[in-house]
Structure formats: C-alpha cells, structure tokens
Structure 1
Amino acid sequence: EEAKEEALQYIPEDSQFQYAESKGQNYEVVYYCPELTEYYRLRLSAEDGALREYKSWLERGRGSKSVALSEDEAKEIVLGEVEGAESLEVNLDSSRGEKVYKVRFNTDSGSGMYEIQPEDGNILLRELAVDH
C-alpha cells in the first residue's frame, strides 16, 4: 500500500491502479491513465520507498513512415522534460517500416532513454533508471 501511494507522485492524478508486486528488494507498481492511454511502471525500494526505475509507454504508440523532426528537435523534447539531461545520443531506428528516434541520456542521478515519434514528436516510451 505504501508503494502504491509513493508512486502517485510520479504519475498523472487520474491514473488507475493496475497491480503491485514484490520484486526482490523493490516493489513494482503499475498504473494506467485512460485519458492519455499511457501505462506507468515504477520500481520503488522496499527499504525506503526511493524511486529506482520509471517507465511509461503509450498503449498504441507507434513509429512513423516519415520523419519531420530533426535530431536536435528530438533532443529538445527530452531536455524539456528531464532536468539535467546531458550526453544526449540520438539514433533514428527503423523496424518494419516504422521509424522512431531513440534518445539516450545521463543525469546526475541516473540514465534514461526516450522513444520519440519522428513525425509529430509524441513520446512513445520513457525509461529512467535512478542510481543511488
């Protein structure tokens, strides 16, 4: 129950609880936001409730066939959300004809990766790992 409550500070208010389970030294908590059609998975320390990992993804998020955004614009999307992001590395990946920008970065407290739809800039996936 404490992990469920702690997770709420990192996700939209109207998110709905899906499940929580113990994973070794951590609790994994999953929520879903119907308005944004986005899932959120958080791993919190069982010892002190500290955030260890954060992942969110759009339910039907897909890449695109065309690219309208530049690599610099993809970087700016990440910089607009992640305070202190640095060492940004951008790659345009293509799978089954769909393109996605993968932006990897570091912060003072960890590292992360975003997948960005290169046509409209939607964030398809966020992954953040916190080093303590």
Structure 2
Amino acid sequence: MKTVLNVIWLILCGFWMFLGYVVAGLVLCITIIGIPFGVAAFRIGIYALWPFGYTVVDRHDSGAPSFVGNVLWLILAGWWLALGHIVTGIALCITLIGIPLGVANFKLIPVSLMPFGKEIVRTDDPFASR
C-alpha cells in the first residue's frame, strides 16, 4: 500500500514539492553560511518526494544550534515551503482519493518549518524512537 500511495503522491504533488525544495536548496547553497540550510532542504526534498514509509523523529542530542538554525530557516525558506504544503494539502483534500495525500502534506508542514533537530527514519526501523 505504501508503494501505491507513493506513486500517486509522486504524480500529483511529490515531484513538484521536491522541485521546490531543490530550488530552495540551490539558492541557500550560494553562500558558505547557507550550505547547512541547503543540505536540510535537499534532505527534506527527498522525504517530500517519497514520504510514505518514513517518519520524522526528534533528535534528543540537538541543542541551541538547532534552535538558531530553525529560526534562520523559518525566515529564509521555511514559511514559503510550508505554504506550498498547505496549498497542495487543501487542493488534494477536495477529492476523496486525495485525502490521505492531503493529510500527508499537512504532516510535512512541521518539518518544513523547523527541520533542524529532526531526523527522517523508516517507519519499520526498530530504533526510530531514539
């Protein structure tokens, strides 16, 4: 079932959201200071491309640098990437078959707003709740 949902996701919105994250990552990688933000954009972009079967967990070893990074991320790219998830989530929830995909879009909003201090893991990973 995960594969079917991922293929439908890829066709309807996953590829376009992935392109948004890639563009954000490339723009953020222009400066040396922005490279960690660009890497975070690429990491979330791959998750946005194929989200079913993966989940986001908090890293317990993150601290103040993650907080500062999240504040800068929110200002630089997070708000408009989250807006993209909101718009596509609402559009997908209009149809009956799109409701699970819309809910998945809404689940991507927290990680698109504050990606530092989080880790993307497989749902069948026994160590996912570290």
- Report TM bin, short chain: under 0.3
Bigger relative contact order, structure 1 or 2, given CA contacts below 8 A and separation 6+?
2
Higher strand share: 1
